[in-house]
Amino acid sequence: MKDNNDMPGHLARRFQQIAVAVFLAEVEDAGFDLTPVQYAALATIKANPGLDQVTLAGLIAYDRTTITGVIDRLVQKGLAERRPSSRDRRARELQITDEGRRTLRRITPAVESAQRIMLRGLSAKEGDELMRLLRKAIAAGNELSRAPQRDAHV
C-alpha cells in the first residue's frame, strides 16, 4: 500500500485544507468575514450581473442544492441581492450591491496575499507549472465531480 503522501487525492485534500486556512486567516486579518466560496460567488455575480443561482453554481463548480445557503449569507451581509427575473417571473436574478462592490475592492489585497502564501516554497516558474498542472487535471476530471464547472449561458 502506498503512503498517503504518494496519493494525489490525499495531497489535493491537504492543499485544500491549507488553501482554506490561509484564505480565512488573510481575509480575517483584513477585517472581513467571507469564506472562499462566498468570495467566488460574489466575484462571479459581479462579473455576470443578473445570473441565476443554478448558473452561478455551475460557474463556481458548487453543488446546486447548497448554493442557496451561500447566496442567503451574501444577501444577509448586504453584499448581493435577489431580484425578480426580467425573463422569467418564477426565477430570481442575482445582483451585487454597492456594499458588495466595495467589499470586493477592499478584500482583493488580502485574497491576492493568500494566493501568494499558498504557493510559498515554490519558485515563480514552479508556481506557474503547478497551476498549469492543476488546470489540466481538473479539466480532465471535471465531469467526474458531483459539481462540475460549467460555462455561463446567461
Q: Given this model, what pLDDT does residue 154 score?
A: 43
C-alpha cell at 96: 451585487
Residues 87, 16: Cα–Cα separation, whole Å: 38
Q: Angle between the 36-47 and 8-29 helix axes, to the nearest 10 degrees?
A: 80
State the distance between the two ends of the chain, measured CA to CA, in whole angstroms: 47
Q: Given this model, what pLDDT does residue 59 score?
A: 96
pLDDT digits (tens, 9 = 90+) for 90-120: 778 999 999 999 999 999 999 999 999 999 9
